[in-house]
Structure 1
Amino acid sequence: MASKPVPPPPRPRLYLATPVTEDPAMLVASLPELLAKADIAAVLLRLKMTDQRTLISRIKALVPVVQPSGAALLIEGHAELVARSGADGAHIAGIEALPDAMDSLKPDWISGVGQLPTRHDSMAAGEAGVDYVLFGEPDAQGERPSMEAIAERLHWWAELFEPPCVGYAASLEEAREFAASGADFVLVGDFIWADPRGATAALMDAELAIRQGYVAMLNKAKAEQE
């Protein structure tokens, strides 16, 4: 009896990182249009350091902007503020910071982790129960792996492990390549906000690039089965 064909994975979705924010007014004004125009699964709020009360106030300003669209609002770091701010979760940098963060986040809030330079670190994060792993973001010195190395890591993870993987894309080319490599989500940020045409146009281009990469992945899989 012929085996049933394996259904294709869902198309990767956008994960939008904000600029490092001190005053949330710009995001309050710009995010509604972006969330309406593109299929954004989550927004990563990056906050300039200050006291906890001010941080919580800034997060709370974005909660009613992001969540009604169906997107999740995650905070970069500050896992201890999630419950008090109304955010949906936190993104943690590095395997060393994960145990304390997971104590704050589980089981009610989303936990993601990046800064995973080795496969061993990636697997340790998965075993810790994170909700996603991120590959390709800059390290403390601003250095990143090559696009090919990030794509290889995404493909390896997607083939072997259940938690979703996210590819950090610094360009449309990377967004397309990471979608083709099996990423569940593609994180875009600085190049979206820096686009002289405006963030909406840049985000629409990123969504198209993801769609193109996904189609390329499906076509490659179909060709390999024939």
Structure 2
Amino acid sequence: MADTAARLYLITPVLEDSSFAPRLAEACGAGSVAAVLLRLAPADERSLINLVKALAPAAQEHGAAVLVSSDGKADLANVAARGGADGVHVPGDPALVRELRERLKSERAVGVGAIRTKDDAMTLGEAGADYLLFGEPRPDGSLPSLESVVERASWWAEIFETPCVAYAPSLDAVEPLAATNAEFVALGDAVWTHAEGPAAAVKAAAEILERQEATR
């Protein structure tokens, strides 16, 4: 069981260039952001490395770890290492997770999403994942029900040591997900499309998490 408040994990839109850096800096500058997942559009390896070099400092300078993902064929481990990211994030493939764990050793994190079943989650945890992400949008943009994500995160957080991240499609979902004892609550569009800007969204989410901790 987690004995501290869940921390924030931000997921960017799919990025093709470095123009997102100011918004990323604004969000992370609001404080309380533990990690950021840079979702990179498919490109050649050199372009992805340069993009990570341009974007990562906007988060890292505010104390957030930066992970990278991409649906392309580029070598993510190489992109992360040469681009200066803190880790990689991949879909739930145990063989891939084991390979990345072997290559990255303990120097960089390996995060996993797109997890379908509880059995898959356990297999991925055993394969060496540093965290599991539950409830993020599917490739077609649809979302699992909030109830199912709460159930899955609660189950995982109660039994397993490997941290989990629970995806909140809205700020309203932050409180019930934090109550699962998940170590991290992830936010995507809820931050980037917030009417008052990313910093306001991050501050609002952080306040919810602080209130949640105070009631434990």
Q: TM-score, normalised by structure 2?
A: 0.89
Q: Supply the distance in 2 between the matched residues of 1:26 and 1:138 (Cα, whole angstroms).
A: 20
Letter in 2 for 1:133: L
Higher fraction of strand: 2
- Aligned partners of 1:157, 1:58: CA distance in 2, in Å? 34
In 2 relative to 1, CA 65–141 (structure 1 residues): closer, same or farther, beyond 3 Å?
closer
Partner of residue 28, structure 2: 35
Are the equivalent residues in 2 in contact too, given 1:180–1:215 (CA < 8 A)?
no
State the 1:203 CA deviation: 1.6
- State which of 1, 6, 9 in structure 2 corresponds to 1:12: 6
Mapped to 2, the partners of 1:32 and 1:184 lie a distance apart of 23
Q: 1:55 corresponds to which letter in structure 2?
A: L
Deviations 1:57-87 (A, max 9, x none): 0001123322232211110242332112111
* RMSD between aligned residues: 1.8
Alignment pair present for 1:51 and 2:44: yes
Q: Which residue identity is paired with 1:181?
A: T
* Letter of the structure 2 residue corresponding to residue 64 of structure 1: P
Task: Tell whether 2:178 aligns with 1:179.
Answer: yes
Query: Per-residue CA shift, 1:136-157, capped at 9, x if unaligned?
Result: 0122233322111111111111
List alignment gaps of at least 5 residues for structure 2. 71-75
Q: In structure 1, list runs of 5 or more residues that go unmatched.
A: 1-6, 219-226
Q: CA deviation at 1:12?
A: 0.6
SS in 2 for 1:19: strand
CA distance in 1, matches of 2:146, 2:213: 17
**Bigger Rg, which one:** 1
Query: Relative contact order (C-alpha < 8 Å, sep 6+): which is higher?
Result: 2
C-alpha displacement at 1:32, in angstroms? 2.8
| SS state at 2:176 partner | helix
CA distance in 2, matches of 1:194, 1:65: 19
**1:71-110 matched pairs, under 5 angstroms:** 71-77=64-70, 78-96=76-94, 97-110=96-109
CA shift at 1:22, angstroms?
1.3
- Measured at CA, do residues 129 and 100 of structure 1 come closer, stay the same or move farther in structure 2, by a change above 3 Å? closer
The alignment of Structure 1 onto Structure 2 pairs a total of residues equal to: 210
What is the DSSP-based 3-state SS (H/G/I as helix, E as strand, rest coil) of the residue aligned with 2:15? coil
Partner SS for 1:127: helix
**Letter in structure 2 aligned against 1:24:** S
